[in-house]
Chain A
Amino acid sequence: MTAAPLEKTIPVGNAKLGHTTVFWIGFAVVMAILIVAPLILPEFWRRFLTEVLIWGLLAMSSDLLIGYTGMISFGHSAFFGLGMYGAAGSLIALSKSLWLATLCGLAAAAGAALFVAYFSTRLRDIYFAITTLIFSQIFYVIIFTWTTVTGGENGLIFTRPHLTIPFLYDARFTSTTMHWFVLAVVTASYLILRRLTRSPFGMVLQSIRENEPRTRAIGYPVERYKIVSVMLSGLFAGLAGVLYAVQNQFAAPDFVFFLTSGDTVIYNVIGGIGTLVGPIVGAGFFQLARELLARLFGDQFPYLIPLGAVFIAIIILLPQGLLGFARRWLNR
């Protein structure tokens, strides 16, 4: 490939560091901050940071569709919610194993993703967005009305499983270990997604985004690539759902509702699509702004009015999002 000659160097002091080095130094610094954070932050902000990471993972999963394949999904709440319900169902009915719950959550999300992907990838642009939205509402109606299995409006409540590593470690989650666990999962997901988007597979996805007819003309089976990308995206969204369920010890139909999907899109647009880390930053920005508005004006303050206005302004004035300036650099 032609990547090597294009490698630019960034001068730091006298030494010149390559792009890769700078990237991994930055990565290590951010990781160090996130690892140390729960030891310093008070309980409330510790939980807050953990939740931001989970929402970030959800947003990152949908970035694979929005930012790389060029399809806006308004239905990510379905995958997120099924991840939640899968984990909750396994913890209640099968066993108290964290890993089995994760597996069940992922399986539920993957099943939903396969179903949605099969139908919706036949469509493009706006039609895809509408179809995913309607599919997520189907799942919402099913979960909401199938009271005997899903608990209907009340959802499912369970006790949190232990954090276990077979033969090595078995202990209750504290908010600190919870944070580290979430951080580990989110980081691993980021690295996997980053690897994926830089792989030949990811290149095909990006070429679908740039020019779908030409990609098909070259000979790539576009539909199959789209189905796989929706499924992968749904899988990571399901993983976020599992984490959220484990952290909060419940699964509720509210999270399958459209508003969760809407929030996911907002995180992406604010943070910057096509960057993978942008959506996490967007989620942090959104949640922080929401928390600060609630503290300043009270809990009843309709925080979505100012945040909605910010969202609209960003689409019109800053379509690349907050991290848009770093998009090319992050994807190199």
Chain B
Amino acid sequence: MHAVSQLFHAIPFDLLFIQTVNGVVTGMILALIASGLTLIFGIMDVVNFAHGELFMLGAYLGFVIFVTTGSFWLALIGASLIIAILGAAMQIVTLRPLIGRDPLNTILVTFGISLVLQNYALWQFGPVVRKIPEPVDRYFTLFYLQYPWYRILIAVLSAAIIAGFYLFLKYGKFGVWIRATAQDRIMAQAMGIPVPWVFTGVFAIGAAMAGASGVLFAPMVGVSHTMGLDWILKAFIVVVVGGMGNLAGSIVAAIFISLLEAYSSVWLDPSQAVIVSFVVLILTLLFRPTGLFVSTSK
């Protein structure tokens, strides 16, 4: 009995609660990135290696717009729009010629794009970490911490963007086109849906989501040119664990992975906590290669 109560006292419940909140917040940002990635994969069969770089550029653009206008919300909208246009241009110039070729070509091309974008950011902004101040600077008390409301706002905003996107897919005209193309590309084309433009639109939407999450994330840690790779790796893990092309699966997986990493960083060094999500990925690939959150009846 004594041992049980000792064990009970050894578990830092306050810390675990704080990490739960942290995990959900980063999980929502990750979900926003990963849902763009999984959307692009599900519809176009393109693994967008440059997705992390779009996220990074979104953060930088948000920083630039914030410095010139002083408004965080303008930065959020402006950066998302510019990244959407950049994504559309990327798709038209580099991915459209590859339609019909081996899908492995697309991972190579987007890898090339990510190199170019990352080095452009390094060249343009230098290796210094830039920071956007939090637009909401109120705090609330969480045990012994002053927890910023802004983080809660990030989670809510990310959820709102994803929800809005879901409604758009479900009811919007273009959303119906996207779903039709995902179901049967050739049939959709036969019905008069401009499939190449659906691809461009999907890529632009995915890019905008990455850009928006970049701006939302920027006040938390700061913007650097290497942040893309960290997040694309996480997003890859999420997309595979959630099931490639499965939107709901990747949202659940994003929160699951982020919570796991948050809990394990209570006991491990944060850089080693990454390994936990790697292990989850390996186990998933071994036992459920189609994803953890896929209904098997499908």
Chain A residues within CB distance 8 Å of chain B: 72, 74, 119, 122-123, 125-127, 129-131, 133-135, 137-138, 141-142, 144-145, 258, 262, 265-266, 269, 302, 304-305, 307-309, 311-312, 315-316, 319
B237 partner residues in chain A, CB cutoff 8 A = 134
B101 partner residues in chain A, CB cutoff 8 A = 319
The answer to whether B111 and A130 touch across the interface, beta carbons within 8 angstroms, is no
B79 partner residues in chain A, CB cutoff 8 A = none
Q: How far is the CB of A319 from chain B (nearest CB, A)?
A: 7
Secondary structure dominating the interface of A: helix
Q: Which 6 A-B pairs have the closest CB atoms?
A: A308-B116, A308-B115, A312-B112, A302-B123, A302-B119, A304-B119
Q: Among A123, A126, A130, which residue has its beta carbon within 8 angstroms of that of B289?
A: A123
The answer to whether B271 and A312 touch across the interface, beta carbons within 8 angstroms, is no
- A133-B236 in contact given A122-B286, A316-B97 (Cβ < 8 Å): yes
The answer to whether B275 and A138 touch across the interface, beta carbons within 8 angstroms, is yes
Q: How far is the CB of B30 from chain A (nearest CB, A)?
A: 15
The answer to whether B275 and A141 touch across the interface, beta carbons within 8 angstroms, is yes
The answer to whether B108 and A315 touch across the interface, beta carbons within 8 angstroms, is yes
B103 within 8 A of A: yes
B15 within 8 A of A: no
The answer to whether A316 and B271 touch across the interface, beta carbons within 8 angstroms, is no
A119 partner residues in chain B, CB cutoff 8 A = 282, 285-286
Closest to A307 in B: B115
B202 partner residues in chain A, CB cutoff 8 A = none
- A134-B120 in contact given A126-B103, A141-B274 (Cβ < 8 Å): no
The answer to whether A309 and B116 touch across the interface, beta carbons within 8 angstroms, is yes
A111 to B237, CA, bound (A): 24
The answer to whether B104 and A126 touch across the interface, beta carbons within 8 angstroms, is yes
Q: How far is the CB of B279 from chain A (nearest CB, A)?
A: 9
- A134-B281 in contact given A265-B111, A316-B97 (Cβ < 8 Å): yes
Q: How far is the CB of A310 from chain B (nearest CB, A)?
A: 9
Q: How far is the CB of A142 from chain B (nearest CB, A)?
A: 8
A-B pairs with CB below 8 Å: how many?
Answer: 98
Task: Enumerate B252-298 residues with CB–CB distance to A below 8 Å.
Answer: 269, 271-272, 274-275, 278, 281-282, 285-286, 289
A22 to B108, CA, bound (A): 34
Q: Among A125, A131, A138, A262, which residue has its beta carbon within 8 angstroms of that of B103?
A: A125
The answer to whether A311 and B115 touch across the interface, beta carbons within 8 angstroms, is yes
B289 partner residues in chain A, CB cutoff 8 A = 122-123, 127
A311 partner residues in chain B, CB cutoff 8 A = 108, 112, 115
Could you write out 22 A-B pairs with CB less than 8 Å apart?
Answer: A122-B286, A125-B103, A127-B289, A130-B47, A130-B240, A131-B285, A134-B237, A138-B278, A144-B271, A145-B272, A262-B115, A265-B108, A265-B111, A266-B112, A304-B116, A304-B118, A304-B119, A305-B120, A308-B115, A308-B116, A319-B101, A319-B105
Q: Among A123, A142, A307, which residue has its beta carbon within 8 angstroms of that of B285?
A: A123
A138 partner residues in chain B, CB cutoff 8 A = 275, 278
Q: How far is the CB of A26 from chain B (nearest CB, A)?
A: 29
Q: How far is the CB of A69 from chain B (nearest CB, A)?
A: 12
The answer to whether A126 and B107 touch across the interface, beta carbons within 8 angstroms, is yes
B109 within 8 A of A: yes
Seed contacts A311-B112, A312-B109, A312-B116; 15 additional CB < 8 Å A-B pairs: A72-B104, A122-B289, A127-B244, A127-B289, A131-B281, A144-B271, A145-B272, A266-B112, A302-B119, A304-B116, A308-B116, A309-B116, A316-B94, A316-B109, A319-B101
A145 to B120, CA, bound (A): 29
Q: Which of A134, A141, A307, A311 has the most C-beta atoms of chain B within 10 angstroms of its own C-beta?
A: A134
- A129-B98 in contact given A138-B275, A138-B278, A302-B122 (Cβ < 8 Å): no
B118 partner residues in chain A, CB cutoff 8 A = 304
The answer to whether A134 and B116 touch across the interface, beta carbons within 8 angstroms, is no
Q: How far is the CB of B60 from chain A (nearest CB, A)?
A: 15
- A305-B282 in contact given A141-B272, A269-B108 (Cβ < 8 Å): no
Q: How far is the CB of A210 from chain B (nearest CB, A)?
A: 12
The answer to whether B272 and A312 touch across the interface, beta carbons within 8 angstroms, is no
The answer to whether A126 and B47 touch across the interface, beta carbons within 8 angstroms, is yes
B64 within 8 A of A: no
B119 partner residues in chain A, CB cutoff 8 A = 302, 304-305, 308
B16 within 8 A of A: no
Q: How far is the CB of A268 from chain B (nearest CB, A)?
A: 9
A134 to B282, CA, bound (A): 9
B229 within 8 A of A: yes
